[in-house]
Amino acid sequence: MKSVHYARQLVVVIAVALALAWTIGLSHVVIAFALEAGTPHTAVEDAHLSSDGIDGHAAATTVEAETPSYAITAVESREHEIPGERQIHALAEAYPDRIAEIQVREGQWAARINDTWYYYAAGRMLPRELLEEYDQYTRVRLYQYRTGPAQLPKIDDERAEHLRKRVRQREADPPVRHNGFLDALYGIGSAHEAEHMMVRVRFLGLSTRVHPKVVNPLARVEAEIVDAMKHDSEVRRFVESLGSAGGYSWREIAGTASRSYHSYGIAIDLVPRSYRGSFGYWRWAMQAGIEDWWDVPFERRFYVPQPVVDAFERQEFIWGGKWLFFDPIHFEYRPELFVLSGYRDEQ
């Protein structure tokens, strides 16, 4: 009888041991699965990890995609999935004298200028203390730029209505860009600092002031345009029609609360003595009663000969005539966009 009793006890012990072992093993499986799948982010974290956006000047109808979710894995194994990698690398390559370091910090790409880290933050480029307030700011313009002849955008009815709504919203509540990153990038934090930094130059016979960083590229643009004038009468007539070259001007972008790139002296406007009835700015078309300004044909816009545009683009200036919110008198020195768009890789 004792042997039977001991046998029964042994069976119970073995059963309990097997059950415990199975439970522990399963718990490891469950925990491993949970870690691999990842846990939900907070609303703020999701916003910081949202898909890359394109600035409204370049493609105002772009709708921000839904936020991706990431597995809980080592940062090194998923850096390529984090939004902002290409943009941050492009900035670092374009401004090696200003950006001291780039890396993934707290799950976001960031760039260090002097002692401050600026986080991509869904394109906003913000210091750490403002990350949770990212949605109060508009993006820094980091987008795909295309060289060559401009093309009119194809806007369907749905996108057209989105554009009209967006403009109404901009007028009622002008977008604000946090200026900290651009201030640090160009070494200018106030009008007083800008006034002392700007350099006076002559461009195509016209006097203007620009950032020191723009002096040499602008001189190369001028040399190419002057050479083109010798054999291209259209270029020659264009240059002779110019009345002024508007470089540095401490001001905000029209219709916004964001500081203009003219404030940093890296933009230049080629202003004619007469527009001859053409539209030199998208707002002029809208103010003239043309609600769908994006449909204004190039024949009715201020015309810049293609060789002039090409000369600027070869020195990494973008042309505002290609923007959806078109600004054809405007050129802007933005080497990071040429890096981001792969043009340096083609050289």
CB-based burial of residue 101 (10 Å sphere; 0-12 exposed, 13-18 middle, 19+ buried)?
Answer: exposed
Its domain, for residue 78, covers 43-136
115 and 81, same structural domain?
yes
Say yes or no: 292 and 203 in one domain: yes
Greatest extent of the chain over all pairs of C-alpha atoms, in Å = 119
Same domain? For 199 and 130 the reply is: no
Has residue 36 been placed in a domain?
no
In the structure, what pLDDT confidence band is assigned to residue 21 with cuts at 50, 70 and 90? Answer: very low
* pTM of the entire predicted model: 0.76
Asked if residue 18 is part of any domain, the answer here is no
Look at residue 268 and tell me whether its pLDDT is greater than 80: yes
Radius of gyration of the chain from its Cα atoms, rounded to whole angstroms: 28
| Residues in CB range of 10: below 8 A, 6 or more apart | none
Over the chain, what is the mean pLDDT?
80
Q: Which of 68-77, 78-87, 256-265 has the highest mean pLDDT?
A: 256-265
Q: Are residues 218 and 297 in the same domain?
A: yes
Token representation of residue 29: 């499986």
Phi first, then psi: give them for residue 193, nearest 5 degrees: -65, -40
Residues 103 and 168 in one domain: no
148-162 pLDDT, tens digit each: 999 998 899 999 999
Total structural domains in the chain? 2
The CATH number covering residue 214 comes to 3.30.1380
- Report percent pLDDT > 70 for the chain: 76
Do 112 and 170 fall into the same domain?
A: no
Residue bearing the bigger pLDDT, 277 or 76: 277
Claim to verify: residue 126 and residue 249 sit in the same structural domain = no
Q: Which of 80-94, 208-222, 223-237, 327-341 has the lowest mean pLDDT?
A: 80-94
CA distance 309 to 314: 9
142 located within any domain: no
CB 82 within 8 A of CB 49: yes
User: How far is it, in rounded angstroms, from Cα 33 to Cα 35?
Assistant: 5
Q: Are 185 and 113 in contact (CB under 8 A)?
A: yes
Residue 144 lies in a domain: no
pLDDT value for 203: 98
CB-CB neighbours of 153 under 10 Å = 16
Confidence check: pLDDT of 44 > 80: no
Query: Which of 43-52, 70-79, 217-226 has the least mean pLDDT?
Result: 43-52
**Does residue 66 have a pLDDT over 70?**
no
Name the phi and psi angles at 39, rounded to 5. -105, 155
Q: What is the pLDDT of residues 278-330, one digit of tens each?
A: 999 999 998 899 989 899 999 999 999 999 999 999 999 999 999 999 999 99
Q: Report the 10 Å Cβ neighbour count for 187.
A: 17
The rounded distance, in Å, linking the Cα atoms of 224 and 227 is 5
Q: Tell me, what's the pLDDT at 174? A: 77
7 pLDDT above the threshold of 70: no
Is the pLDDT at 17 greater than 70? The verdict is no
Whole-Å CA distances, 86 to 207, 248, 278, 308: 37, 29, 38, 29
**Does residue 242 sit in the same domain as residue 101?**
no
Q: What is the pLDDT of residue 346?
A: 74
